Amino acid sequence: MPKPRIVGAVCAVFLLALFAGLSIWEMSGDSLTPDERAHLPAGYAYWVAGEFRLNPEHPPFVKLLCAAPLLFMDLKIPPTQPPAGVTFHNYIARFGTAFLSQDLDRILFWGRLPVVGLGVLLGFLVFSWSRRIHGQAGAGLISIFLLALEPTLLAHSHFITTDVALACFTIMAFSFLWRFCEAGGDGRHLVLAVAGMGLALASKFSAVVLLPLFFTLWLRRWPVRAPAAGDRRPVADRLLASRGLAAAAALLGIAIIIQACYFFSPDLSLYFKGLEAVRANKPVNYPAYAAGTFFVGGRWWYALYVFFLKTPLATLCLIGAAAVACLRDRARAGGALLFVLLPAVFYAAAVCLFADNYGVRYMIPVTAFLLVSAGRAWALLTSGRTGRLAAAALALWLVASVGGVSPHYIAYCNEIIGGPENGARFMHDSNLDWGQDLKRLARYQQDRNLPPLVLAFWGASRPEVYGIQYRHWAVDTPDVADPPVAADPPPGLYAISVNKLIDLKKLVLLEGRDSRLDWLDRFKPADRVGYSIYIYRFP
């Protein structure tokens, strides 16, 4: 192996290890998030009881993968049937709380590790595809360097959710389809592409928006050097000779992968029932929060808005530089980048038009494809002294920007709005506050020997689990809250989640309540725990 390839491989391994280490660093301090309370216990119920009616709104693969390590632990499963009059949809939170109460930190640690593995696999696939599609090992290193310091990917590559898995398997599907179509028709690449598409569909229902594009590229870019049909050729060769037959076989393979994730249940409609559950449980008139204003029913541009505020500016600059490089060499870049840019555009459009305005995490697959395309910036960054200086400056900027918020990557905001300290004035929900800082609040109270807190917490964890001394404050129901919200607060030490503070702002702006409810504008916090819990001191 030539020396440059060894150096490139060592650098790639180092960056993957950095990515995993940073993600685990944040994971060690993060408390339970709402989606994890549903996904991990449901996955355990799938393995032990075969009960797929718990949390049907998401396909089972990620839940099965994350729950698999728990099978080696001595855990008891709560009743999988809800009480009379309670739906499975409403029962999953109660079921999850009961299951996780056995040993929360240990269960979460082992349940989250498989997602870290998916993040590392995603990094490898991005590196490999970028290196091949741009023809330079340096291009792959640019892509994986950006991925290793991508805050949203770092944050969600250890939560038991489906977005990183979807990004991983869609990159797998389209990268191996590109290799098959552009590199002479190796059947192994086709099998891996089909496996990737099947696992993407088994991970998150929104993968269905990419299925037509997958087969459109399949049919339009079928390799001209595919084996010709002939009666004496093996069946596999005859399949490769006919794009139609191969597509039919691929659809069958995808269906088998999905059904295998349901343990080949005799109920063949489970996947479609899950799709229907997504539609049935979709919130009505959910208010999107952006730049201090609420938009009832959401806005199509919200996903793009949070994407540009939560992606490091250095990364955006390199993606832009890659676009310039592609325009300068359109003849070489055009066909290959169809497999990169079209999925990014299709999925971003689907998120903008159909997804709820919950968070930038829905854009993780788009980010992954754009990081592959960013490798094209290698051509500009190595074209003379100016390019190398620009590369060094952007790399240092990225390290400083992301390192400055470590290990609180979930709340990262770029310099456009002044960083995560100002995030609560521009966004909410999983963009900043997913209940991840409760464990850190317990450490904050213990290290400072603080008295009991007046606590208004948003999240899935219970403060008692971490030994927090507190008095509950129903701050989001100010008519019955004690102490009163609008009047001058009684003396005490208050800990309030960002999402609770934004709920108070919503009461003022959407319901016309007393403006003194808006604590974000009225008071400046004395301290913060992470970036999702504000501390107020009233002497």
- Residue 347 lies inside a defined structural domain of this protein: yes
pLDDT of residue 228: 46
Q: How far apart are CA 24 and CA 29, in angstroms?
A: 9
pLDDT of residue 61: 97
pLDDT of residue 143: 96
Of 336, 359, 377, the domain-final residue:
377
- Residue 146 lies inside a defined structural domain of this protein: yes
Yes or no: say if 239 and 249 are a contact pair by the CB < 8 Å rule. yes
| 168-215 pLDDT, tens digit each | 999 999 999 999 988 766 789 999 999 999 999 999 999 999 999 999
Of 345, 361, 377, the domain-final residue:
377
- Residue 418 lies inside a defined structural domain of this protein: no
pLDDT of residue 225: 52
pLDDT of residue 333: 60
Tokens at residue 38, please?
């549903």
Of 335, 356, 377, the domain-final residue:
377
pLDDT of residue 3: 66
Instruction: Give the count of beta carbons closer than 10 Å to the beta carbon of residue 250.
Output: 23
- Residue 370 lies inside a defined structural domain of this protein: yes
- Residue 229's pLDDT band, with cuts at 50, 70 and 90, is very low
Q: How far apart are CA 512 and CA 116, in angstroms?
A: 44
- Residue 121 lies inside a defined structural domain of this protein: yes
How many structural domains are present in the chain? 2
Q: How far apart are CA 82 and CA 98, in angstroms?
A: 13
Provide the 3-class DSSP secondary structure of residue 497. Answer: strand
Instruction: Say if residue 373 is in the same domain as residue 454.
Output: no
Instruction: Say if residue 124 is in the same domain as residue 273.
Output: yes
pLDDT of residue 263: 95
- Residue 398 lies inside a defined structural domain of this protein: no
Q: What is the Cβ-side half-sphere exposure of residue 420, based on CA atoms within 13 angstroms?
A: 29
Q: How far apart are CA 498 and CA 496, in angstroms?
A: 6
Instruction: Say if residue 289 is in the same domain as residue 152.
Output: yes
pLDDT of residue 234: 53
- pLDDT (average), residues 49-65: 94
Instruction: Say if residue 357 is in the same domain as residue 455.
Output: no
Instruction: Say if residue 230 is in the same domain as residue 162.
Output: yes
- Residue 51 lies inside a defined structural domain of this protein: no
Task: Report which of residues 4 and 118 the model is more confident about.
Answer: 118
Instruction: Say if residue 148 is in the same domain as residue 228.
Output: yes
Task: Report which of residues 3 and 425 the model is more confident about.
Answer: 425
Q: 211: buried, middle or exposed (CB in 10 Å: 19+, 13-18, 0-12)?
A: middle
- Determine if residue 75 is left, alpha or beta; phi over 0 gives left, psi from -120 to 50 gives alpha, anything else beta: beta
pLDDT at 216 > cutoff 70: yes
| 292-349 pLDDT, tens digit each | 999 988 899 999 999 999 999 999 999 998 888 777 776 666 577 789 999 999 999 9
Q: 392: buried, middle or exposed (CB in 10 Å: 19+, 13-18, 0-12)?
A: exposed
Instruction: Say if residue 152 is in the same domain as residue 250.
Output: yes
Q: Looking at residue 55, what DSSP letter applies? A: S
Out of 30-39, 133-142, 305-314, 318-327, pick the least confident: 318-327
Instruction: Report residue 400: phi and psi, to 5°.
Output: -65, -40
Task: Report which of residues 422 and 239 the model is more confident about.
Answer: 422
Tokens at residue 501, please?
């503070």
Task: Report which of residues 70 and 284 the model is more confident about.
Answer: 70
pLDDT at 227 > cutoff 80: no
Instruction: Give the count of beta carbons closer than 10 Å to the beta carbon of residue 117.
Output: 13
Task: Report which of residues 516 and 60 the model is more confident about.
Answer: 60
Instruction: Say if residue 446 is in the same domain as residue 348.
Output: no
Instruction: Say if residue 372 is in the same domain as residue 443.
Output: no
Q: How far apart are CA 335 and CA 330, in angstroms?
A: 9
- pLDDT (average), residues 227-238: 48
pLDDT of residue 89: 85
- Residue 187 lies inside a defined structural domain of this protein: yes
Q: Which of 50, 34, 48, 47 is nearest to 92 (CA)?
A: 34
- How much of the chain, in percent, has pLDDT values that exceed 90? 70
Q: 51: buried, middle or exposed (CB in 10 Å: 19+, 13-18, 0-12)?
A: middle
Could you give the dihedral angle defined by the CA atoms of residues 64, 69, 73 and 79, in that order, rounded to the nearest 10 degrees? -10
Angle at 272 between CA 271 and CA 274, to 5 degrees: 65
Domain range enclosing 470: 430-538
Q: Which contacts of 500-506 are long-range, i.e. CB under 8 A and separated by 24 or more positions?
A: 500/456, 500/457, 500/458, 500/475, 500/476, 501/424, 501/534, 502/289, 502/424, 502/428, 503/458, 503/475, 503/476, 504/475, 504/476, 504/478, 505/292, 505/294, 506/287, 506/289, 506/294
Q: What ranges in 438-525 are assigned the alpha helix state H?
A: 438-448, 498-511, 519-522
Instruction: Say if residue 343 is in the same domain as residue 462.
Output: no
Average pLDDT, the chain: 90
Out of 145-159, 419-433, 509-523, pick the least confident: 509-523
| 265-288 pLDDT, tens digit each | 998 899 999 988 888 777 777 889
Angle at 226 between CA 222 and CA 231, to 5 degrees: 125
Task: Report which of residues 534 and 377 the model is more confident about.
Answer: 534
Q: Looking at residue 470, what DSSP letter applies? A: E
Instruction: Say if residue 137 is in the same domain as residue 218.
Output: yes
Instruction: Say if residue 170 is in the same domain as residue 292.
Output: yes
Helix axes 385-403, 313-328, angle to 10 degrees: 150
Most confidently modeled of 204-208, 323-327, 387-391, 476-480?
A: 204-208
